[in-house]
Chain A
Amino acid sequence: MSGQHFKEFPITWGMVIDVDKCTGCGACMASCQTENNINPQPDASNKLRETAWMVVFELGNGKAFPDHDVAYLPRPCQQCGNPPCVSVCPVVATDKNEDGGIVSQIYPRCIGCRYCVAACPYHARDFGWFDPVWPEGMEKTLSPMTSVRPRGVVEKCSFCHHRWELAKEAARAQGKNPDDLEEGAYVPACVQNCPSGALTFGDLKNPKHKVHELIKSPYAYRLLERLGTKPQVYYISRREWVRRLGDNHLLGA
């Protein structure tokens, strides 16, 4: 592509999303909102202006009643192995330079040019059009682990990277190796709270983690794979029409 090359790291944090178990309830979306200090938005029905890092989309197979089928697809940041957003950022506010492979987004460095918002094929990035406002007193419930963004900068899902930091600290306090965490010591808020078990998280390279085997399933696919973004989020569905939608094929083609 344009000079950016695929980066490999010893640890590769990845998510496996079972589309056949997602009921579309939005608990993952609500978990992300509260974990990452995203402010309540009264006019959230304008989806072009709202801020939501995790979004659940409704998919349909395009057929008429009664052959119609529905699926719900949670879409966090795909933490691409070859991120288009990183290659376009003029100030390196976003980079893929850390073991674990999480694409970082640094708010004080971002100048708000929105080039990355345009570059991301998954629409995973949100621009802060407005200053965040919390109802009086609600700022007491902010999580200490995610900074509050002013307007004018871009934000996106970070796989709850702060939870990894907390897990490493806990490992150090117990005298364990922070680079060899047990499965489940670090999970993002959405994965932790999903009541349907649709989300699984772990190190894709670690054979002791469930995701390592899950991604080998014949039903596993990634979104828009032909773009070469190499996302670290895999989806699994036993329904072929859902898998075909992953690459946005024209129906019947």
Chain B
Amino acid sequence: MGLDRRAFLGLVAGGAIGTLCTPIPWKLVDDAAIWTQNWSWLPKLPKGQIDYVTTTSKLCPAGEGLRVMRVAGQPVTASGNPDHPLSQGGVSALARSEVYMLYSPARIKSPMKKSGGRFEPITWEQATAELAERLGTAKGSVACVSGDATGTVNEVLSAFVGQLGSAGYFLMPSDATTAARGVKLMGGAGQAGYDFENAATVLVLGADIFETWGTSTRNRKAFAASRPVGQAPKTTYIYVGPLRNNTAAVCDQWIPAGSADLGVVALGIAWHLIKAGATSPAPGFEAFKAMVTGSFGPEDVRLATGIAPDTLAAVAKTLAGSKAPLVVTGSPFGQGLGAGPFIAGMALNLLLGRINRPGGVYALPELAAAVPGALGRAAMLDGDLPGFFSGVAAGKTPAPKALLVYDANPAYGLPETAAMTKALEMIPFKVSFASFWDETAAMCDLILPNSLPLERYDDLATPYGAGFCLYSLVKPLQKPVHDTRTTADVILAVAKKMRLALGYDTFEQVLRAKVATLAKAGGFVAKDVMPWQVAAGSPAPAPAGDLWKELQAGYAWTMVGQVMQTGLGFVPGVLAKAVRPAATPTEARAALLVAYAQLRTGTAVTGVPCQDLTTVPETELDGRTTCLRVNAATAKKLGLRDGATVTLTGAGGRCQAKVCFFESVINGVVAVPLGFGHTAFDHFSRGKGANSLSLMPLAEEPGTGLSTWIASEVTIA
């Protein structure tokens, strides 16, 4: 009996029916559906025990204490540490991305040496040997630029550079450098600290206190505490500036004023206060009163700034009638403000009697140094980096033989980029300790990459803007992802190799010594009682037993600090020269350029964090073009159409921008965002928009000599 056609068909049919009675078709369909859900190129989730550890953010200028979630020991997300005074649970878009940045494609993976125009990876032994040798030949003329304004690593670096023969130690310019120069010129002592938590009325002249100025996260927490949801606010915040930025958006009042006119506005308010009878025992008051009364009357101010006399009269009345007024002065984009406007704003605090008072300005003492031969913070803040580079580029100042660049990106983050890069090119040996491939690292001869804060020991001491002394520890949460080392450790090792005595072998030893000095300074660990409560009158808790242990647990050491003022005065001579009405552009297609900065686009050192690109609205970056915000009236005068792409020219730089009408910009001004126009980093940052800093020329402030770039003139075509 063979298999004929009918039998064959029967076989097949029987097989088919049989198959239907087996799991084959049903299981295969089900499994195929599951197979389509599990493509191999999609990452699998980590598995393991979840725990939380603490550290402090060094990448975000707000200095938040962080609480990092780990899975099986691997950091996964960073949130704010509710116990830390600078965080109180809050965290910025930048600090939030700190864990992701460990794996940024822009990271420098090992020491690099430039040879033949290209970078080659080398070992740490080779890198440190090269560094020791090159610095040995550059002795007597070694300069350093540091972007870390708060870390003890500066003590190590400045002591090292000092022993080599320093050509200058500079911090990247910021509101802190402006404030330090201002306080010094006024004859004051200590670091200006602002007690927002106890203030009742805050007048903000320019400073972006809720975004990029100082301890912004803590400032916002203080703001939130006094503004219960849906009820009448318990405080008054007034913002004076050229643009309704993030800070002004939540303030009770926005007074439009050009960024170069902030000093004029301050003295205009002083006029009203003095008219109402305000006096001060501080030196220089009589001459100050004469100057203000003579040159900053309501009409003078109206002519210079366009502000109606009633407006400033009302502000003066509010300040005078408030039980705790506070005046904060800064640049709307975190850098470039002259000392004159700062002094004018601080003069208001003097006039209102707010120095070293709760809710006012505290003069904070500097914490004792741990490294012998280190520069103090005041000395570091005294340097004028753009002025120095400008001098080098013009041939007026000799170029240093060597430059160390730590946590800074001067080739991108300074104004008048063309001149700054020219100066950098004139320096024969440049070494960068950057963690990411930034514009400056690309220009350097040797790169010894620093481990990121989540991979290293570091610290944070009294950031500018804090109303109290503070010390917070950064501890490593994981081994370095790449072949990087903690720069402070590298410097200590190189110093030893060069037979320079810095007094320590490892950076952890330096930090322990620093903490030991703190334990002697008094203060307390902020846990149940916060320093602003002590400033307001609560009894200070006893100092901690084991301070290092508390710091490791994520708590911060704090102290209500008040440096006695013996010579803080009005310095009317300086003010008369430095505070003048700004010139209005006369050319048809010229306007004043004002910038604004956002933490979500990172800093000059971090580039745009890859996770934060989605937070950038299309009113800031459209495709690959940054947006230029201008009001319709100004646009009409300049002949600009909404949505058109234009070219801005200034300071030897050219930038493209897309015109975006926005009515909350003062007349005659165009506003552009900072943080774009990178030519380095990774594909998330590179080639997006333009670097507006390149359009800003440096100007020397009359009366102080400080480099300023607060209101630059640009031509728009």
Contact = CB atoms under 8 A, between A and B. Distances in A.
Interface of A: 16, 18, 20-27, 29-31, 33-35, 37-38, 40-42, 44-47, 50-52, 56, 58, 60, 63-66, 68-72, 108, 131-132, 134-144, 147-148, 150, 189, 192-198, 200, 214, 217, 219-220, 236, 238
Given A33-B611, A64-B631, A236 B249 contact: no
Interface centre among B69, B77, B211, B256 (most CB of A within 10 A): B77
Interface in B184-222: 210-211, 216-217, 220-221
Interface in B57-99: 69, 71, 74-80, 89-94, 96-97, 99
Given A40-B684, A192-B89, A196-B223, A214 B666 contact: no
B99 A26 contact: no
Interface centre among B45, B614, B631, B682 (most CB of A within 10 A): B614
A141 B93 contact: no
Nearest to B87: A195
Given A70-B244, A196-B223, A236 B229 contact: yes
Task: Tell me what chain A mostly uses at the interface: helix, strand, loop, or mixed.
Answer: loop
Given A34-B611, A134-B43, A195-B224, 13 more contacts: A26-B598, A30-B612, A40-B611, A41-B613, A51-B614, A58-B619, A137-B103, A143-B77, A192-B89, A193-B89, A195-B221, A196-B220, A197-B229
A27 B91 contact: yes
Contacts of B611: 30, 33-34, 40
Contact of A144 (B50, B78, B600, B664): B50
Contacts of B250: 20-23, 196
Contacts of A18: 229-230
Contacts of A58: 617, 619
A68 B662 CA distance: 9
A140 B102 CA distance: 10
Contacts of A219: 230
Contact of A29 (B46, B48, B103, B615): B615
18 contacts: A21-B227, A26-B615, A30-B612, A34-B611, A51-B614, A56-B615, A66-B256, A70-B664, A141-B75, A141-B76, A142-B76, A143-B76, A144-B47, A150-B39, A192-B89, A195-B91, A195-B217, A196-B250
A23 B77 contact: no
A18 to B, nearest CB: 5
Contacts of B619: 58
B230 A34 contact: no
Contact of A131 (B37, B42, B615): B42
Contacts, number: 232
Contacts of A24: 246, 249
A69 B664 contact: yes
Contacts of B663: 60, 63-65, 68
Given A45-B622, A69-B664, A236-B230, A23 B220 contact: yes
B405 interface: no
Contacts of B481: 137
B614 A44 contact: yes
Nearest to A147: B45
A20 B99 CA distance: 31
Interface in B629-679: 631-633, 662-667
B159 interface: no
B247 interface: yes
A217 B612 contact: no
A176 to B, nearest CB: 19
B249 A35 contact: no
B83 to A, nearest CB: 14
Contact of B230 (A38, A131, A148, A220): A220
B623 interface: yes
B595 interface: no
A18 B481 CA distance: 40
Nearest 5 Cβ contacts at the A-B interface: A195-B90, A197-B224, A26-B615, A68-B663, A139-B43
B276 interface: no
B93 A29 contact: yes
B621 interface: yes
A138 B100 CA distance: 6
B79 A193 contact: yes
A118 to B, nearest CB: 21
Contacts of A194: 90
A34 B633 contact: no
A148 B37 CA distance: 10
Nearest to A198: B224
B130 interface: no
A42 B663 CA distance: 30
Contacts of A44: 613-614, 616
B99 A141 contact: yes
Contacts of B684: 40, 42
